[in-house]
Copies of this chain bind each other. A is one copy, B any other.
Amino acid sequence: MSAMNKQILLKSRPNGEPTAANFDLVETPVPTPGAGQFLVKVIYMSLDPYMRGRMGAEKSYAATADLGAPMVGGGVGVVEESNNDQFKVGDYVMCGTGWQSYCLSDGTGVMKLDPKQAPISTGVGVLGMPGLTAYYGLLEIGKPKAGETVVVAAASGAVGSVVGQIAKIKGCRAVGIAGSPDKCAFVVEELGFDVCLNYKDADFPEQLAKACPDGIDVYFENVGGKVFEAVLPLFNDDARMPLCGLISQYNMTELPKGTNMLPALMRAMLTHRILIQGFIISYHFNHLPAFLKDVSGWIKSGQLKYREDIVEGIENAPEAFMGLLKGKNFGKLLVRVADDPTRN
């Protein structure tokens, strides 16, 4: 009995929140690598908020997934067959696998992973795109100076957890924002943030103001919505806001009614000389070498910790992804598609 390729296809585009009906689990034959190609058996699939944008038809910052094709995304796996000199059988790699248990690659955009250096799962986490997003966004756009206050949304997540820990390494006050008392406790006790607040608390804006007695110098934004509205009045002069995600509005089907907050943002940006820079990490891979050196060093020295939330089985990916958009994960969300032979 030969192995089959389990795939999760995008069946239909969501209107608002994705539902199970938007996905389709199918089994197809495992593909055979052509000239210059190799076959990757996927071990971990990464689930990330940005994938919501790929499900829609509207222009987002990356091409949308095609209907009837596997959901797009990155993952970690092992080379099983190869017609490519650069990648041999048994190599562990990080690449754009899509939501499936096998994929072909010609090596474009593939990064080799050394299981002796770090668990291979980190290739899509703290040592992969989420980690680089945190590192580049905080250091190159946020430019934190020792003594400044750095506020981090989604602080227990794959990106935010790294942002706050780097802020601490750079001598800043790190204020996290997360969605449950458990997450907040983890962010302070395990990750070493100075404080972490639950944005679901009714008095969250007041708590945030109290937690930032000297105002906010850097706000690392990947949430938007009410969290941002609580941050806005607290910006200091010359504040910086790297913007790499807006999870609170990905399922929005129309602009909300009520008070138009746009003039408030514009006024704050003018009077406080604020910088906001939207960025997408795939345009900044030139920072990879410095990032890998610094972050793997901080992991080894114990200055930087990470937490993974691993879901078993590709068939559970849609539900896990829908939960991610609601903040149900606790740490970097991964799907274990096959056994990880490097982990005992």
Q: When the two chains form their complex, are residues B246 and A270 in contact, meaning their CB atoms are under 8 A apart?
A: yes
Quick one: which of B263, B275, B283 contacts A273, CB cutoff 8 A? B283
Scoring A244, A263, A280 by chain B CB atoms within 10 A of each residue's CB, the highest score goes to A263
Q: When the two chains form their complex, are residues B224 and A273 in contact, meaning their CB atoms are under 8 A apart?
A: no
Q: Would you list which residues of chain A between 224 and 265 have a CB under 8 Å from chain B?
A: 224-225, 228, 243-246, 249, 252, 255-265
Distance of A58 Cα from B331 Cα, bound (Å)? 42
A147 part of interface (Cβ distance < 8 Å): no
A279 part of interface (Cβ distance < 8 Å): yes
| Given A258-B257, A275-B275, A276-B275, CB of A249 within 8 Å of CB of B263 | yes
Question: How near does chain B come to A221, taking the closest CB pair, in angstroms?
Answer: 8
Q: Which residues of chain B are near A246, meaning CB under 8 Å?
A: 263, 266-267, 270
Question: How near does chain B come to A275, taking the closest CB pair, in angstroms?
Answer: 5
Q: Which residues of chain B are near A244, meaning CB under 8 Å?
A: 270
Q: Would you list which residues of chain A between 88 and 129 have a CB under 8 Å from chain B?
A: none
| Given A60-B271, A61-B270, CB of A255 within 8 Å of CB of B263 | yes
Q: When the two chains form their complex, are residues B259 and A260 in contact, meaning their CB atoms are under 8 A apart?
A: yes
A269 part of interface (Cβ distance < 8 Å): yes
A59 part of interface (Cβ distance < 8 Å): yes
Name the residue of chain B whose CB is nearest to the CB of A273.
Answer: B278
Q: When the two chains form their complex, are residues B275 and A277 in contact, meaning their CB atoms are under 8 A apart?
A: yes
Distance of A195 Cα from B249 Cα, bound (Å)? 36
Q: When the two chains form their complex, are residues B263 and A260 in contact, meaning their CB atoms are under 8 A apart?
A: no
| Given A255-B259, A258-B257, A260-B262, CB of A271 within 8 Å of CB of B224 | no
Q: Which residues of chain B are near A184, meaning CB under 8 Å?
A: none
A272 part of interface (Cβ distance < 8 Å): yes
Name the residue of chain B whose CB is nearest to the CB of A250.
Answer: B267
Q: Which residues of chain B are near A270, meaning CB under 8 Å?
A: 61, 243-246, 278, 280
Q: Which residues of chain B are near A259, meaning CB under 8 Å?
A: 255-257, 260
Q: Which residues of chain B are near A267, meaning CB under 8 Å?
A: 246, 249
Name the residue of chain B whose CB is nearest to the CB of A269.
Answer: B278
Scoring A61, A275, A276, A283 by chain B CB atoms within 10 A of each residue's CB, the highest score goes to A276
Q: Which residues of chain B are near A243, meaning CB under 8 Å?
A: 266, 269-270
Q: Which residues of chain B are near A221, meaning CB under 8 Å?
A: 266
Q: Which residues of chain B are near A264, meaning CB under 8 Å?
A: 255, 262
Q: Which residues of chain B are near A216, meaning CB under 8 Å?
A: none
A274 part of interface (Cβ distance < 8 Å): yes
* Known contacts A228-B266, A261-B262; 9 further A-B pairs (Cβ under 8 A): A61-B271, A224-B263, A224-B266, A246-B263, A255-B263, A260-B260, A260-B261, A275-B275, A276-B277
5 A-B contacts (beta carbon < 8 Å): A60-B271, A221-B266, A255-B261, A275-B278, A276-B276
